[in-house]
Amino acid sequence: MNIWQRMSSIDRHYVYLLVAATVIFPLIVPAHFPIGISPEARQLYEAVDSLPEGSVVLLTFDMYANNLAETEPIARAALYHLFRKNLKVVTVTTIPFGGPSIAERITRELAAKYHKTYGVDYVNLGYKPNYVSVLKGMGSSIESIYPTDNSSTPLAQLPLMQTVKNYADMKFIYVVADNGIVDYWISIVQAQYGIRVGCGVTSVMAPKLYAYVGSGQMTGLLGGMKGAAEYELLVGKEGLAVTGMGIQSLVHLLIIALIFIGNLGFFMEKRRAARAKS
Amino acid sequence: MSGMELFQIWIMAFFTLAIFSFLYKDNPIYRFAEHLYAGVSVGYYIGLYWDTVIVQQLWVPLTQSKVPEYWLAVPGIMGVLMFSRLSSKYSWMARIGLAFIMGNTAGVFLLSQLHGNVIGQMQGTMSPQMANGSPNAALTAIVVLGVIATLIYFYFSKEHTGALGVTAKVGIWFIMISFGAHFGYTVMGRISLLIGRVYFLYTDWIGSFSQIF
């Protein structure tokens, strides 16, 4: 086997090892790459930042546990921004597998850090099945869908929920999601109730959703770890996403190099074979 | 860090490494982790739907509320009829519930898709595209050309020759650029997940060594 053949047929185990090394090494010696702020991330940041103090924002935790690496940094940066702006936060989830516990863990942790009181500054409504009914029902009465919060406390006992009866009492919906539910927040809630919706989603979902930003149906978009890193920079609270983007950039450089090596080997071998034949 | 937290971290680390072991080759530890995950997921979903649907939305309002909501018996019965699929003789009864679901879903989604996707996206396509806060003619032309060319690519009632063929080829370019963007984002997403797991192993799991050893 000559060098060109070797280059175009590197054993996949070596590729895995190289990727693993590229991910692990920057954790020991951090790598920093510049992170540009996209107009969509800035739009979302400015939409939240321009809300008057005390406004109610619905923050959704529509996420499974397996995508936490992308969604948790977005949710944390969003919640940090909302609490810092002294906005009232109501959280819900349409995902049973992870959503309620993730919402509970992150909101309780950040609320304690920023001295927010449960029931007054924020409420976690938790999960209810059948997202279409939930999204539509909250437009007329939140209490009819969520008679109690995530800890089974009746909404009547939560001061914040005395002023929040449906979407009309909210100023913004901040969707953090890793699945197709975003389409329904747009098509059911934004389109039919006119409330502004901004989203932070996984990378896989982001390209499709740019169409909603372009049409003005979505107010800002964060795509995956890059979007989370942009938002962390905008709110001035660097976390896992900013750290992760250094690693991400290195791995991308490695992938580009491997694609180049593989293609170079393939074409050079093809050329060599053609010459040998002639 | 409590003993329970340590135990959780080690369990998480074990299953993370068990799944990663598949990268070398298929093995019993990977299969154990995979099957356990599938089993736990199914068990969790059954318990969850039993509590949130059957108990909270059917049994409690039907039997324990001050004004019993007897109408809930109708969807309850339709739900039970779904199990008639298990019998070849009475399987037709399941169609009652299915017909209701189909009709209801079609009605709800017809309106929402029309509002959210059809009208909203058509408006977005026809409106001038913005760049740095002001209308941009070049961007608008690209969007209009891209939409028309892509739609023509999916028009199969006439052979793609002549002007139609050229436009369809332009459409393919737009589709390929879109696929490229999707693929690039997918790679980024998968690397993000790997970073998340490795970050957990490095900070939480290896970090817990000092408490044990």
pLDDT band at B74 (very low <50, low <70, confident <90, very high): very high
Q: What is the pLDDT of residue B166?
A: 94
State the average pLDDT over residues A44-67. 94
Closest-CA residue to A60 (of A213, A144, A167, A153): A167
Residue B178, domain member (yes or no): yes
pLDDT for the residue A84: 94
Model pLDDT for residues A148-191, shown as the tens digit of each residue: 999 989 999 999 999 999 999 999 999 999 988 999 999 999 98
Mean pLDDT, residues A66-85: 94
Q: Does residue A215 belong to the interface with chain B, where contact is any CB pair within 8 Å?
A: yes
List all residues 6 or more positions away from A194 whose beta carbon is below 8 Å from its beta carbon: none
Residue B211 within any structural domain of the chain: yes
Give the closest-approach CA distance of B182 to chain A in angstroms.
Answer: 6
ipTM summary value: 0.88
Structural domain contains residue B111: no
Mean pLDDT for the stretch of residues A68-78: 94
Chain B residues 123-142 with a CB less than 8 Å from chain A:
123-125, 127, 129, 132
Percent of chain A with pLDDT over 70: 100
Delimit the domains of chain A by residue range.
3-29+245-277, 39-238
Say what the pLDDT of residue B39 is. 96
Task: Express each pLDDT in A89-118 by its tens digit.
Answer: 999 999 888 888 899 999 999 999 999 999
Q: What is the mean pLDDT of residues A41-54?
A: 95
**Would you say A47 and A219 are in contact if contact means Cβ atoms under 8 Å apart?**
yes
Cβ distance B187 to A132 less than 8 Å, yes or no, reads no
- Do the chains contact at B191 and A20, CB–CB below 8 Å? no
Residue B1 has pLDDT above 80, yes or no: no
pLDDT tens column, B156-178:
898 989 999 999 999 999 999 99
Please name the residues between 64 and 93 in chain B that touch chain A, using a CB distance below 8 Å.
none
By residue range, what is the domain housing residue B207?
A: 133-213
Specify the pLDDT at position A242.
Answer: 92
Both tokens of A272, joined, read 């060599």
DSSP string, B37-87: HHHHHHHHHHHHHIIIIIIIIIIHHHHTSSS--GGGHHHHHHHHHGGGGG-
Contact residues on chain B for A187, CB-CB shorter than 8 A? 112-113, 115-117, 120
- pLDDT computed for residue B178 by the predictor: 93
Tell me what pLDDT residue B68 has.
87
**Cβ-defined contact of B45 to A97 (cutoff 8 Å):** yes
Residues of B in contact with A24 (CB under 8 A): 198, 202
Mutant choice from B64, B195, B203 vs A, greatest count of A C-beta within 10 A: B195
Task: Answer for the pair A205, A74: CB distance below 8 angstroms, yes or no.
Answer: no
Q: Per the CB < 8 Å rule, is A136 touching B143? A: no
- The pLDDT tens digits for B92-133 are 999 999 999 999 889 888 888 888 888 888 888 888 888 777
Question: Residue A20's pLDDT is what?
Answer: 94
B87, part of any domain? no
**Residue A256 pLDDT:** 94
Interface check for B43 against chain A (CB to CB < 8 A): the answer is no
**Which residue on chain B is closest to A147 by alpha carbon?**
B56
**d(Cα B105, Cα B98) in Å, to the nearest integer?**
10
Percentage, residues of chain B above pLDDT 70 = 100
pLDDT score of A18 more than 90: yes
The SS3 assignment for A29 reads coil
- Asked whether residue B97 is assigned to any structural domain, the reply reads no
What is the pLDDT at residue B174?
Answer: 95
CA B100 to chain CA centroid, Å, is 24
Q: Are strands A88-93 and A56-62 parallel, antiparallel or unpaired?
A: parallel
Tell if the CB–CB gap between A244 and B187 is shorter than 8 Å.
no
pLDDT of residue B128: 86
Name the residue facing B189 among A183, A184, A202 (closest C-beta).
Answer: A202
pLDDT tops 90 at residue B2: no
Mean pLDDT along residues A22-37: 90
Pairwise CB contact (< 8 Å): A191 & B120: yes
Residue A30 is predicted with a pLDDT of 86
Q: What is the chain B residue with the closest CA to A16?
A: B23
CA atoms within 13 Å, Cβ hemisphere of A206: 29
Q: Is residue B106 part of a domain?
A: no
How confident is the prediction for chain A on average, in pLDDT?
A: 92
Task: Determine, for residues A186 and B116 on separate chains, whether the beta-carbon distance falls below 8 Å.
Answer: yes
Mean pLDDT of the B34-60 span: 91
* Cα-based distances in Å from B115 to A32, A47, A216, A235: 44, 23, 13, 33
> The tokens of B38 are what?
């599938």
Is the residue at B3 inside a domain? no
Question: What pLDDT does residue B211 have?
Answer: 82
B8 Cβ under 8 Å from any chain A Cβ = no
Test B199 with A68 for CB contact under 8 angstroms: no
* B93 to chain A, closest Cα gap in Å: 23
Q: CB-CB: which of A129, A244, A252 is closest to B53?
A: A129
Q: State residue B129's pLDDT score.
A: 83
pLDDT value, residue A2: 83
Which residues does chain B have within 8 Å of residue A245's beta carbon, measured at their own beta carbons? none
- Which of A241, A201, A197, A229 has its CA nearest to residue A216? A197
A39-238: which CATH number, 3.40.50, 1.20.120, 3.40.30, 3.40.960? 3.40.50
User: Domain tally for chain B?
Assistant: 1
A206 contacts on B by Cβ (under 8 Å): 185
Among A76-80, A227-231, B52-56, which is the least confidently predicted range?
Answer: B52-56
Structure confidence at residue B14 as a pLDDT band (50, 70, 90): very high
